[in-house]
Amino acid sequence: MSFYPAAIQERLNQPQNAGAIEIASACGRSASFMCGCSVGFSVKLGEDGKTIEGSL
């Protein structure tokens, strides 16, 4: 039995858009000192400035 609803548990077990983008247009990282959690992201933009790919 899971603490989370089925839809959220599925996303935790099979994350999408996880990993690094090799040639990213922008990258960032943030952390919470309250809980020790951190997150990083990267985005790849096309010639027109629209997002082609995103990753956490």
pLDDT at 46: 93
Tens-digit pLDDT profile for residues 4-48: 898 888 888 888 888 888 899 999 999 998 888 888 999 999 999
Statement: residue 1 has pLDDT above 90: no
Cα dihedral 18/22/27/30 (nearest 10): 40
Q: What is the pLDDT of residue 18?
A: 82
Reference 56, options 46, 42, 44, 45; nearest CA is 42
Note the pLDDT of residue 11: 83
**Angle value at C-alpha 23, between 19 and 24, nearest 5 degrees:** 70
Domains of the chain: which residue ranges? Answer: 17-55
